[in-house]
Amino acid sequence: MSKKANNGKYEWTYCSLGGTVRVNVQSGEDIAHLGELDQKLWTVLSCPVEGLEFDEDTLRMIDTDGDGKIRVKEIVAAAEWLTSVVKDKDLILKGDSVIPLNQINTECEAGRRLHDSALQILSNLKLQKDEISIADTSDSVAIFAETGANGDGVITEASAGDDNLKAIIKDIVETTGSAMDRSGVAGVTAEHIESFYTALADYSAWKAAATPDIFPFGDDTQAALDACETVKDKVADYFMRCKLIAFTEAAAPAVDVSAERIGEIAADDLTTREEEISTYPIARPAKEGVLPFDAVNPAWTARFDAVRTLVKLEGKGVTEKEWKDVLDKFAPYIAWKDAKKGESVEPLGLEKVNALLKADDKAALLSLVDADKALEEEANSIDEVNKLTHLYRDFYKLLRNYVIFSDFYSPNLDEPAIFESGKLYIDQRCCRVCIKVADMGAHADMAGLSGMFLLYCTCTSRKTGQTMDIVAVMTDGGIRNMRPGLNGVFYDRDGLDWDAKVVKVVDNPLSIKQAFWAPYVKLWNFITGLLNKSAEEKDSKAVADLQSGAAAAPADAAAKKQPFDIAKFAGIFAAVGMALGVIAAALAAIISGLAKTPWWGILLILFGIMLLISGPSCFIAWGKLRRRNLGPVLNANGWAINSGAKVNIPFGRTLTSLAEYPKLNLEDPYKPKTPLWRKILCWLVALLVLAFGILFFTDNLKCIGLPFHKDQPAEEQVDAPVVVAAEGETVEIAGE
């Protein structure tokens, strides 16, 4: 149907899908006028960018605000831009990945930039053709591989024509950091250049502040500081022990190492107990408070000798004050070290740092960055060509899943909806609608409102080692085996197989037939459950009785056997007989009542009983099946479904396919044979039913007025009036 303007408004065509009237987008003009379509008529108001079977790059190009959602306004903006830069708008419906250059509309400014940028891309790629594809535009590294300036504000060694500047860019990358250029090479930005030259100046100034007086031990100052730091805590501990002995000599045994402690390890190879020995004081403490050089703990001797050598300790020992004086000499050096700046450029060496500062090529490098940024608009146009090729291929597919939902309702299974992630094979059926979920618990709370039978599965790929969760929509077949723990196989859209395990089931009816038999199945399950429970209890009791009997057997060996109590058993037999009599009387009453009821009456009674049992279940199932809706399942996954996505019974059968076998007469060599007693029992039951039917039939002939009596042949039966005469009277009957 052609479109016509009507009072300035665009005239749409409509279609019916899933029991809902929807706007039908079937031409380029429809796409161009999407902005005029009332938002209330859209099937979807928003969908997520991630988790769909759709090119995520395309979705991110449409998601201009970067919030992870594709909304109606963003779809409209993309539609207006795309239809303005493509000449033949109907070509958008084909979904080609290649667009001819002559189809880019150069009559508008945006189209001219796209056309020029497309030519630039082909030139950079050294391609000579009159069309451009997604493969051409997606590889930005290849496009900018041989370009020094590409508008991203990042310069590389290729951006500099001077070897000196190339060397500086390399130094910045190695010391300060880098950013990835569009050409795929590490480069530097203006921020990196500023940081580099700031670090050069700071490091040079810090080095200049290193006057000789801050190095108390010359070139050995750092080594001396490291050596003192190694023993500092142990020496401080020693002087504190000396102070305690000076305070009270009674503390000497407690703060000194005891002979008993040494005796505990004396029998061992003491060279292997150095760690234990190192925990002893660095020297034996005394009230004089002098650390003797010739009586240092053997585990600390080497480290303390290194200190003596580096800081030039003379004499036979050192007091606490002398040790503190040594440590105080390091204060200026430590303060200078703490003020260190520009350490990132330290690997270059002070000489090169000063040379770079003297050359001062900072301005030249920043001018290269400015020259690169000047091409930003041209480079962004190249990105726009990439956007054009993606939307040219994918936009109509997105509309089919956003405005119309036709991919979901289409019988063409080669193009499933973008939310369908694959197929689940389980229990002799294939579920076509499988959707990835992030949070099963939260998803099931809302998805349960869909009225559909849902299987939540955890899938694991043995090939990739990845896992994911899906929800499979099951719309046909039985549910007897559907339970958590059941295994199946999931095939994703790429054909990769995953091990699938059911972890949660949302139970809803699949068909009227299933609902009809559901009460009987529940009753049977209830009865078998009671029987199994009773059997288990009796088995447990029997085992317990046997065990207690076996334990009590020696003690009861001398016990006499209880005499047979005939009165007790007589009472039991009487109770059983009474119960059987009541049951027999009830059956006789039922059979007597049925014998007086016509055959069609019995059928009506049976039909009524089954209607009372199965009717409510079927009615509830019918209501749920009518209201089955995929909308809540998608809403729980981040979609905003604006109109219904109903799944009626006929359409539901297309979403779940069942196994079908040909009708063959095959012999099973392992089929169990029917026992003879069972055959005899079946024949007896059949004969009893036949006999009952004959009796019932003959009695009902009389009920409907047919002259049939069992005590005379049918051909001799006549209709005769019934006359009651008093005793001694003579009665004449006509015809006699």
Flag whether pLDDT at 290 surpasses 90. Answer: yes
Flag whether pLDDT at 567 surpasses 60. Answer: no
Three-state DSSP string of 115-164:
HHHHHHHHHHCCCCCCEEEHHHHHCHHHHCCCCCCCCCCCECHHHCCCHH
User: Do residues 407 and 417 lie in contact, with contact meaning Cβ atoms separated by under 8 Å?
Assistant: yes
Tokens, residue 693? 């039917």
Residue scoring higher pLDDT (518 or 251): 251
Residue scoring higher pLDDT (643 or 57): 57
pLDDT band at 720 (very low <50, low <70, confident <90, very high): very low
Question: For position 535, what pLDDT does the model report?
Answer: 76
**Which of 95, 93, 117 is closest to 104 using CA atoms?**
117
Q: How far apart are CA 135 and CA 124, in angstroms?
A: 14
Residue 348: CB partners within 8 Å, gap ≥ 6? 171, 175, 356
- Of the given ranges (147-161, 405-419, 679-693), which has the lowest mean pLDDT? 679-693
Task: Report how many helices (DSSP H) and strands (DSSP E) the chain contains, helices first.
Answer: 26, 20
Q: Burial, 613: exposed, middle or buried (Cβ in 10 Å; 0-12, 13-18, 19+)?
A: middle
Strands 179-180 and 186-187: antiparallel
Q: How far apart are CA 561 and CA 557, in angstroms?
A: 10
Flag whether pLDDT at 156 surpasses 60. Answer: yes
The pLDDT tens digits of the residues spanning 199-232 come to: 999 999 999 998 888 999 999 999 999 999 999 9
**Which of 239, 324, 232, 237 is closest to 287 using CA atoms?**
239
Q: How far apart are CA 110 and CA 387, in angstroms?
A: 13
The mean pLDDT value for 49-67 works out to 94
Which ranges of 453-598 does DSSP label H, i.e. alpha helix? Answer: 512-552, 566-595
Selection from 275-284, 533-542, 576-585, 621-630 with the highest mean pLDDT:
275-284
Question: For position 572, what pLDDT does the model report?
Answer: 57
The pLDDT tens digits of the residues spanning 393-451 come to: 999 999 999 998 888 988 666 689 999 999 999 999 999 999 999 888 888 877 778 88
Q: How far apart are CA 228 and CA 306, in angstroms?
A: 9
Strand pairing partners for 424? Answer: 431, 490
Question: How does the average pLDDT of the chain come out, rounded?
Answer: 83
Neighbouring C-beta atoms of residue 189, cutoff 10 Å: 20
**Which of 472, 154, 208, 531 is closest to 357 using CA atoms?**
208
Query: Angle 109-124/376-399 helices, nearest 10 degrees?
Result: 100
Question: For position 439, what pLDDT does the model report?
Answer: 85
* pTM listed for this prediction: 0.63
Question: For position 149, what pLDDT does the model report?
Answer: 72
User: How many CA atoms does the CB half-sphere of 276 hold within 13 Å?
Assistant: 13
Flag whether pLDDT at 123 surpasses 70. Answer: yes
Question: For position 711, what pLDDT does the model report?
Answer: 47
Q: Is the dihedral of CA 44, 48, 49, 53 positive or negative?
A: negative
Strand pairing partners for 591? Answer: none
The pLDDT tens digits of the residues spanning 503-547 come to: 999 888 776 666 666 676 666 677 777 777 777 777 787 787 777
Q: Which long-range contacts (C-beta less than 8 Å, at least 24 apart) are formed by 611-620?
A: 613/519, 613/520, 614/515, 614/516, 614/517, 614/518, 614/519, 614/520, 617/515, 617/516, 617/518, 617/519, 618/512, 618/515, 618/516, 620/509, 620/515
Instruction: Categorise residue 470: left if φ over 0, alpha if ψ from -120 to 50, beta otherwise.
Output: beta
pLDDT band at 732 (very low <50, low <70, confident <90, very high): very low
Compute CA distances 231 → 20, 88, 215, 273, 283, whole Å: 85, 84, 20, 19, 12
Q: Which long-range contacts (C-beta less than 8 Å, at least 24 apart) are formed by 138-141?
A: 138/57, 138/386, 138/389, 140/182, 140/184, 140/382, 140/383, 140/386, 141/182, 141/183, 141/184
pLDDT band at 724 (very low <50, low <70, confident <90, very high): very low
The pLDDT tens digits of the residues spanning 586-623 come to: 555 655 655 556 656 656 666 676 666 666 767 666 65
Q: How far apart are CA 51 and CA 62, in angstroms?
A: 16
Tell me, rounded to whole angstroms, the distance of Cα 554 from its chain centroid.
Answer: 64
- Which DSSP string corresponds to 268-295? S-GGGGHHHHTTS-SS---TT-EEEGGG
Three-state DSSP string of 192-236:
HHHHHHHHHHHHHHHHHCCCHHHCCCHHHHHHHHHHHHHHHHHHH
Strand pairing partners for 468? Answer: 459
**Which residue is listed with tokens 């749920």?**
624
User: Do residues 496 and 461 lie in contact, with contact meaning Cβ atoms separated by under 8 Å?
Assistant: yes
The mean pLDDT value for 90-107 works out to 95
Q: Which residues of 650-665 are buried (b: 16+ CB within 10 A; e: fewer)?
A: ebbeebbbeeeeeeee
Q: How far apart are CA 719 and CA 702, in angstroms?
A: 13
Question: For position 351, what pLDDT does the model report?
Answer: 94
Question: For position 417, what pLDDT does the model report?
Answer: 92
Q: Burial, 18: exposed, middle or buried (Cβ in 10 Å; 0-12, 13-18, 19+)?
A: buried
Question: For position 64, what pLDDT does the model report?
Answer: 93
Q: Which residues of 522-541 are buried (b: 16+ CB within 10 A; e: fewer)?
A: eeeeeeeeeeeeeeeeeeee
Tokens, residue 629? 């809706």
Tokens, residue 387? 């956007």
